[in-house]
Structure 1
């Protein structure tokens, strides 16, 4: 058994609308061997993972999977359940999984859900190792491996504060994007997006954060506005620390100058020796230390969001309660086993750590870890009440005095923070601290909020809700309109057309395409950028007001979608391309993959579908939003039925593209007025224009602007590079196009047939990952249309041998009618085009179906430095069509 790959789908995918892991495995010799026929397998598996006995499986009753095991099931199915069970053992409640055959008789695809990406991914890898260990009769230390996963989750996972804010945003339909591996997260998309890192926001002032981190500066600012703070100052040596302590009087507190989470803080120090030791501890966290007067009282944390007190907790220092039997050290070990305690910010409470601060605290109080406290005796382990050092929280939000609220808000405003955690010591928070001798001891720029969400005692306070309220007040936007376009052919041109329309509408457009990522006309990243990562680049850009995303099959299958939901989903067509890849072997399966684009549209959005495509009826069945159909005629059965119930449609009527808005027909533009159609010769660009009109109309763009933009859209290097770009070379024409499949070749060559005056010469090639039958068919189509063919190959052979694809194409050309003397293999794309242009005569049309665009343009320009303007070429060819 061999692991081929493991992939994470963090958003919507063809497998589910929630996050999943996909693992591809080759069962090899175990492909037809059920679990019951592998000696000792079931017993060993259940011994390691007894929780599998409770799995329901497809039988939908507890023990259903156990029945399957006993009767015999296969290893791929078992791997699915083991991955889910391991996540359950890690504390994640996951249930969804499915297994299906992929390819080559022995390869299977296993998909299962996850809540934490690190836990899910590593549980999948561990599940594979568990099965391998049983099959190879080797021991596996499962507990050790699970602990390693827990540690990795702690290192890579989002903190509780960040996760709580994301969860609250999600409840409101606000999408989130994690940026990098830390806690930087974007909420919302494009222009309206906001960013957070824990409880620091993109509006939090850097100066304010630096001020809060400088504890002495914070105290000076607060003192200047008569807010009580403890006496003390910063020191650079232990001698200076002792001097300050004796100056302000014992007891004192020593803490790192710019520390956090209570680390290295020593409290209620009574002597020079204790100050010396405390200074040495603080030095481990900061070069400078702060010595302050110790203020007796209770410890409180007050959270201020947007100048409002939203939560108050009393923090009780780390402690254990004696039972008269166990030592303090043993009681700590027992407490750390509580399911509520984890490492760092993993759980509501943090595990209690034995460190130098604790040892000094116990020593001062004449105690040691080996002492056995009496039953019911409360033994405090440190004075510091931070949750990060093991303390607990009691909610007292309803008890805080109003004057204290005002004082605290003024303090936060003085520092300049939008979110702050204010630490107060006072005997009673319900009384004014100016009367009780209380003080503000610290202001934190990035306060943890788990103590308020998960108090040990009292009411939970949803601080995350207040933060999201501040980031996205009622009535404000959180996302930009998203249009996602897919299809076998035409998706790039349709994407570019819609982008041009939206730019004409005065909007800043973020576009992904096979040519690159663009912000308006500015190329940000060059290359084929049609996957989810490219979509995220657009959605992360604060300038972008609307996103238009070309979304390719490969990205959908292998990575899912790069967004949560779209406003508009467009499928241009379903054709015979990429079959046999990624387990997609039929056109029905291809339609199901591309259907994800319209299934992932918001309920109030639009699915734009091709009424003339035979697979639209299959796709439309699972659409949950409104539908706009486009097609050649309003008499199409699908369009006719759709319009009869008030559905919207775009179609051609007397050479004019019309829109039915649910009530009446509205003429949009004459087909001959769209340069990209070359006077109606290029039917595929008429289809693309209709799809673009439907998409732009769905986004609310005025019809006049749509028409005006399409009249300006040329198939040239500026508007649509690589899509039927026409160049005048000497006294013949050269066309560059990206046709790379059967339908693409056929539609382009059908259009060229109408333009033909002289010979039609082709420079043809097909990507090597296409099936032989498709390559042969493209060759046959070429043989029917071309007078001469130069057969080239892509530089990327995609697993093929040299000239393997070229020879199949040549055979196809012969089937189509070309003689041996009308064909030539020249594998190099640029050399093939050069030969074609050297061979060209007056009136000829040469078309090259390219792999690499720019080298061909450079070659053409070297032949014709005084290239005619694209619009003139378009007008010229349109006249030819009219004559034809």
Structure 2
């Protein structure tokens, strides 16, 4: 079995509303049932015993094992192995599918939690299956260990993960920025950025102060807060001098260290001072020597001027059993499933280094000694969890006076989230200079000790942080309108964006021609996929987003947003069939239905009641449905209104909204995009736009104002039914590229009182021959003369191939061959049409690239004006 492709779907997708990976594999020959492969089933279940619990198609535990026994196909087995490998690595994933694509190709689709884990599990699963088929051995434990090490590097730590999960629980979209600990919570102007526990509101100066222990200590002292006595040592001799002046025991630590690195406590003589100084010097140029404060180590967490959690931290240690050596006890403790590398788990593994050996020496022990039963053997003196320490919750015990001191300390430094480290005998008693001190303040405090204390009640610090960033009643996201369909989606997108802008919103918009922020194009080109949506939503200036969402992007990667307030499907008709496994209208509807499936519970799905595929889409739609229709007697609309639903439709030349009562919005003849009601498809587009705008609660008078000021020109709707007057004739430029779209444009063009209708036609080369032929047939019956051109991007076709099919279709549609001219280059075809145009002609050009055609038209007008001036001058010169 060979992997052909791996594709990651990070957003909601056609397979699942959770992130999935699609791996295409080639089984490279005849399918072999698992029961016919010697030793396959037995070896597999021994390697991954968790597979015995998989239910599979039988719906009960052991179902998959039964399928193995009966003989199932290898891609199906691979799917289950991938899921189980992820389970073994600590991720609770269940969804999977394996489906034949064609011949020996299969798609294996599976849920993932961490992308790097999912991809590596997939590759390992294929390797495992291949080795089992060949009867080769595989060291699965070693390979899983390698993946586990990679995961530890890229997975979010417990603190960041807790914040992410709390935000999701509140319905706040979360985007991980890069592979570090930076999260974007929310969309648009309401989004907040947080890195670990440093929020976007955290002052940069405050972080710098907290990182400088000397400066922190001075500021706290200036605020009358108790801190240890001490000074900075610039060399070993100064360290010894300061220690002896303070009196032993002392603490030696780097002035700008973190996680307890280089910190030495209970230093009691000159020799220990030198060793500790040299170690601390490895972490910082400056070294601090302070008086040792006796007592327990507490971490007080302040969030937004409130103490939300308190933990007593106990340094890394093991308990003697009278049997095992210290080294063996450490190894046993590190097998605790709660312990991992770095911050991957609630506790960190205990490491053995020079510091731990020195701490053991102080206790009269070495790694090879066997402590008596019950003896507590410390491996560290600093109580950081990152060096293997544990935490006990003391939140309910802290004295009110100490709460006040902690909050004052955080405010003195300027931190909105702060970890205040206090050493004192008992947190239940007031802190004073005689019984304790503030040791340091942390600007990015870890919160796993509070979420996962070794003893005591877990404290949901992540909730406090999210609540601080998004106080009750505040917004985390912006109105999102997502628009798809076969025809009209670009125009509807632009109409909705214009209406929202009329309402006062700063709008982010993605379309086939670019990403726009407040009408300014920040990125040109087709931007209707998930990456473009994410780019738009990440902009901090916007307070509304209107996203054109094309079929291609959905199939490639899924959606680029979580849930929309309004999802719109304009219509479903033949387009792109035969591509990416989409062969029927039902297939196409299934893909586009994702837009109305991913709608908020209190949002709206806008559907075309005149479209035959709408009953299918309505079954999948979420939120409430708003139907739109060209007809007031549409049966679907009438029933919907009777049942208390909302509908937008045309009644006696007026677009109305029915929602308990019938409210007129705008007369059709007042909508510029309809050219006085002649352009029927823009009436339909206006209905969809009005429905979507109503769904995001834009007042009806504003909707009317917006739709009445949206023009079919190069400013508001470039490339969509743009009409250019060229003196005695006109040119109509449109993006019609499928049968229904072209048919509607021709129908509208025939109402524009032209003497002759001339078509400049072409179709993308990736369409099926039958679709291209139909376009030619429609054009042959609709135009008086045709220029056939081809796209620059032939999409796998030979030059002239598409043109030939179009010509055959046009002749079938009734066009005389002498009225057909083939000019393959788009701009040259338009030039020829304009130069041959007669007075009263209307040239309709269906373009591939818009701007070059507009340039051709502008140059033609300019040249004609120059010629007219020259002719006029000649007349004046020779009367």
TM-score, normalising length from structure 2?
0.96
Structure 2 distance, partners of 1:136, 1:677, is 68
Aligned to 1:541: 539
CA shift in 2, pair 1:796/1:355, >3 Å:
farther
Further displaced range: 340-349 or 582-591: 582-591
SS of structure 2 residue aligned to 1:434? coil
Seen in structure 2, the aligned counterparts of structure 1 residues 587 and 218 have a Cα distance that, compared at 3 Å, is: same
State the SS of the aligned residue for 1:111. Answer: strand
Residue 235 of structure 2: aligned partner: 237
Superposition misfits of 4+ residues, deviation over 4 angstroms? none
Aligned to 1:126: 124
Please name the residue that 2:675 is paired with: 678
CA–CA distance in 1 between the matches of 2:172 and 2:771? Answer: 44
Partner of 2:82: 83
- 1:879 alignment counterpart: none
**Aligned pair partner of 1:760 in 757, 762, 765:** 757
Gap change, CA 1:40 and 1:813, over 3 Å in 2 = farther
- Please state whether the residue corresponding to 1:751 is helix, strand or coil: helix
RMSD value, Cα: 1.8
For the pair 1:5 / 2:2, whether they are aligned, the reply is: no
What is the CA deviation profile of residues 625-678 of structure 1, one whole-angstrom value per residue up to 9, with x for unaligned ones? 2111111112112112112222211111222222212x2322221212111112
Out of 782, 785, 790, which is 1:788 matched to?
A: 785
Contact 2:96 2:109 in 1 (8 A): yes
Q: Return closer, same or farther for 1:26/1:814 CA change in 2, 3 Å cut-off.
A: farther
Name which of 642, 645, 669 aligns with 1:644: 642
State the match for 2:15 in structure 1: 15
d(CA) in 1 for partners of 2:525, 2:143: 41
1:508/1:544 contact within 8 Å kept: yes
Tell me the alpha carbon deviations over residues 770-808 of structure 1, each in whole angstroms, 9 at most, x when there is no partner: 111111111111222223322222222222233322222
Q: 1:848 aligns with which of 830, 845, 848?
A: 845
Q: Which residue of 2 aligns with 1:713?
A: 710
Q: State which of 821, 824, 836 in structure 1 corresponds to 2:821.
A: 824
Q: Is the 8 A contact 2:158 2:344 kept in 1?
A: yes
Query: Using a 3 Å threshold, how does the CA distance of structure 1 residues 28 and 747 change in structure 2: closer, same or farther?
Result: farther
Q: 1:41-190 maps to which residues of 2 (within 5 A)? A: 41-102=40-101, 104-190=102-188
> Alpha carbons of 1:300 and 1:733: their partners in 2 closer, same or farther (altered >3 Å)?
same
Query: What residue in structure 1 maps to residue 740 of structure 2?
Result: 743
2:410 paired residue number: 412
Matches of 1:786 and 1:824 in 2, distance apart?
A: 13
- 8 Å CA contact 1:728, 1:864 repeated in 2: no
SS of the aligned residue for 2:444 comes to coil
Partner residue of 1:882?
none
Q: CA deviation at 1:187?
A: 1.3
Partner of 1:342: 340
Distance 1:363 1:793, change over 3 A: farther
- Secondary structure of the residue aligned to 1:798 is coil
Quickly say closer, same or farther: Cα 1:396–1:770, change in 2 above 3 A.
Answer: same
Deviation at 1:867, TM superposition (A): 11
Alignment of 1:344-363 (within 5 A): 344-363=342-361
5 Å-filtered alignment, 1:167-566, equals 167-434=165-432, 436-566=434-564
Contact 1:256 1:290 in 2 (8 A): yes
1-structure distance, mates of 2:599, 2:93: 26
Query: Deviation at 1:496?
Result: 0.3
CA deviation profile, 1:720-747 (whole Å, cap 9, x unmatched): 1111112223432222211111111111
> Is the 8 Å Cα contact of residues 249 and 292 (structure 2) preserved in structure 1?
yes
CA distance in 2, matches of 1:355, 1:841: 91
SS at match of 1:547: strand
Partners of 1:128 and 1:634 in 2: CA distance? 58
| 1:801–1:237 distance in 2 versus 1, CA, 3 Å | farther
Q: Return the match for 2:700 from 696, 700, 703.
A: 703
Corresponding residue of 1:874: none
Alpha-carbon contact 2:157-2:345 (below 8 Å) kept: no
For residues 430-452 of structure 1, the C-alpha deviation after alignment (integer angstroms, 9 at most, x for no partner) is 11220642011100011000000
Matches within 5 A, 1:569-608: 569-608=567-606
Q: CA deviation at 1:866?
A: 9.6
- Worse-superposed segment, 770-779 or 800-809: 800-809
- Structure 2 counterpart SS, 1:689: helix
Distance 1:581 1:140 in 2: 40
Offset of 1:712 from its aligned partner? Answer: 1.4
By how many angstroms is 1:691 displaced? Answer: 0.3
Cα displacement (A) at 1:19: 2.3
| Secondary structure of 1:129 counterpart | helix
Q: Distance in 1 between matches of 2:828 and 2:863?
A: 22
Alpha-carbon distance, 1:467 to partner: 0.9
Give the SS at the match of 1:425: strand
SS of 2:432 mapped into structure 1 = helix
- Measure how far apart 1:319 and its partner are: 0.5
Q: Contact 1:14 / 1:593 at 8 angstroms: preserved in 2?
A: yes
C-alpha distance after superposition, 1:2-37 (max 9, x if no partner):
32222232332222222222222233314x332223
- Aligned residue pair count: 865
Deviates more, 1:134-143 or 1:783-792: 134-143
CA shift for structure 1 position 404: 1.1
More moved, 706-715 vs 35-44: 35-44
How far apart are the structure 2 equivalents of 1:471 and 1:766? 51
Deviation at 1:172? 1.6
TM-score scaled by structure 1? Answer: 0.95
Q: Which segment is superposed worse, 371-380 or 113-122?
A: 113-122
Q: How does 1:627-666 map to 2 (within 5 A)?
A: 627-661=625-659, 663-666=660-663
Kept in 1: contact 2:604–2:622 (CA 8 A): no
Offset from partner CA, 1:558-597 (integer Å, 9 cap, x none) = 2111222111111000111122222222211211211111
For the residues of structure 2 that align with 1:355 and 1:2, how far apart are their CA atoms? Answer: 45
SS across alignment from 1:433: coil
Q: Conserved in 1, the CA contact under 8 Å of 2:729 and 2:840?
A: yes
**Counterpart contact for 1:281–1:356, Cα < 8 Å:** no
**Secondary structure of 2:522's partner?**
strand
CA distance in structure 2 between the partners assigned to 1:492 and 1:830 by the alignment: 23
Query: What secondary structure sits across from 2:561 in the alignment?
Result: coil
Q: Which secondary structure state, in structure 2, belongs to the residue aligned with residue 222 of structure 1?
A: helix
Asked if structure 2 preserves the Cα contact closer than 8 Å seen for 1:726 and 1:733, the reply is yes
CA distance in 1, matches of 2:80, 2:610: 43
**Could you list the per-position Cα deviations for residues 128-152 of structure 1 after superposition, in whole angstroms to 9, with x for gaps in the alignment?**
2222222344443322221122122
Distance in 2, Cα, partners of 1:739 & 1:57: 46
Q: Does 1:726 align with 2:723?
A: yes
Which shifted more, 7-16 or 300-309? 7-16
Q: Give distance in 1, aligned partners of 2:234 and 2:723.
A: 75
2:381 & 2:811 partners in 1: Cα distance? 90
| Counterpart Cα distance in 1 of 2:135 and 2:105 | 23
CA distance 1:867–1:518, change in 2 (3 Å): farther
Distance 2:592 2:565 in 1: 16
Q: Is the 8 A contact 1:732 1:843 kept in 2?
A: yes
**Kept after mapping to 1: 8 A contact 2:327/2:367:** yes
Q: Secondary structure at the match of 2:620?
A: coil
Range moving further from structure 2, 448-457 or 145-154: 145-154
> Could you tell me whether the CA contact under 8 Å between 2:226 and 2:433 is conserved in 1?
no
Describe the superposition over 1:185-219 as per-residue Cα deviations: whole angstroms up to 9, x where unpaired: 11122122211111111111111111101110000
Deviations 1:502-547 (A, max 9, x none): 1111111111111211112111221111112221222222221111
Q: 1:687-730: per-residue Cα shift (whole Å, max 9, x none)?
A: 00000111111222222221221121111111011111122234
Whether the 8 Å CA contact 1:426–1:436 is kept in 2: the answer is no
